[in-house]
Homo-oligomer: A and B are copies of this chain.
Amino acid sequence: MNISEVAERAGLPPKTIRHYEEIGLVRPLRAENGYRQFCDSDLHKLAFLGRARSLGFSLDDCRSLLELYEDHGRASADVKALAGHHLTEIDRKIEELIAMRRTLAHLVDCCAGDGRPDCPILDNLAAVPVLKP
């Protein structure tokens, strides 16, 4: 398979696949003309990566997951731990965004949104306490 076919089938852009090769996540063979030649195993790896990325795993995590996937002597505890940490991190981000959302939604609600300059949003941003010297 050439890169565009494997890209289509794995659901990833060719640019992304070249990037993954550059950082050693996949190692396709090369044809005589220099074109990358992907086998079924490469395709599955790429699909695996795409799926892991869609769950928000970093590429570093993806590398570890791929190693675990290919290590048939792995302990599922290792996978669970990695996924658990990621889950915790996702929860943290959600909390952070929800806090932002709460404040911001309130401010937007309070703003008249007309032609006048008075604006509770700007007032709030400007009302940050500044430490005295």
Q: Which A residues contact B (CB, under 8 angstroms)?
A: 1, 5, 8-11, 43-44, 47-48, 50-52, 54-56, 65, 68-69, 71-77, 79-81, 83-84, 86-87, 90-91, 93-94, 97-98, 100-101, 103-105, 107-108, 111-119, 121-122, 124-126, 128-133
- B114–A87 touching, CB < 8 Å: no
User: In chain B, what residue has the closest Cβ to A119?
Assistant: B76
**Please, how many angstroms separate the alpha-carbon atoms of A90 and B100 in the complex?**
8
The answer, among B81, B87, B113, B132, for a CB contact under 8 Å with A113, is B81
- Contact B121 A83, beta carbon cutoff 8 Å: yes
Q: Decide: B65 and A133 in contact? CB cutoff 8 A.
A: no
Q: Is the interface of A mostly helix, strand, loop or mixed?
A: helix
Chain B's nearest CB lies how many Å from the CB of A48? Answer: 5
Contact partner of A77 among B8, B114, B133, CB < 8 A?
A: B114
**Residue of B44, B84, B97 touching A108 (CB-CB under 8 A):** B84
Q: Are B65 and A104 in contact (CB under 8 A)?
A: no
* CB-based nearest B residue for A117: B74
Task: List, in ascending order, chain B residues with CB within 8 A of A43's CB.
Answer: 130
Which residues on the B side are within 8 Å of A117 (C-beta)?
71-76
